[in-house]
Amino acid sequence: MGPVNTNLDEQARSIFSDLGYTVSGDGAEFRAEREWKSVHVTVTEEPNETPDTGHLRCFVTSEDQAPGLRRSLTRADPEYEWAIISVEDDNDYEVVRAPPCRSTAL
């Protein structure tokens, strides 16, 4: 993954903490865990770079990069369940795409 805005990284951790997840790990890649779920979180500003492996993944990116990331992930059609959280300029966020299965939803 490419360079990440430190503020975006902090916002991603805050979002997951506020949702009741325990956050562990450093940098732009970390784990968010709650109950039986363990989500691999990737903070990115590079919509064309997507990991090949995983089970539950969530990508956190800026509002302007979210559409490109969604297109990239849709084209790649990875075998893992994925979601995208778009962080807006006012520090609010929107879930742009969530996993299709309720049992694995964030």
Domain extent, residue 45, equals 6-104
* Residue 77 placed within a domain: yes
Q: How far is CA 29 from CA 24, 32, 98, 101, 103, in A?
A: 9, 10, 19, 24, 23
What is the distance between the alpha carbons of residues 29 and 85, in angstroms, rounded to a whole number?
Answer: 14
- For 37, the token pair is 């779920």
* Residue 43 placed within a domain: yes
Tokens 């962080």 locate to: 87
Indicate if the pLDDT at residue 12 is higher than 90.
Answer: yes
**H helix count then E strand count, the chain:** 2, 6
Helix (H) or strand (E) holding 14: helix 6-18
Predicted TM-score (pTM) above 0.85: no
The pLDDT > 70 percentage for the chain reads 82
What average pLDDT does range 2-16 have in this prediction?
Answer: 77
* Residue 1 placed within a domain: no
pLDDT of residue 97: 76
* Residue 81 placed within a domain: yes
pLDDT of residue 106: 52
Number of domains within the chain: 1
pLDDT of residue 17: 95
Where residue 49 sits, what CATH number does that domain have?
A: 3.40.1350
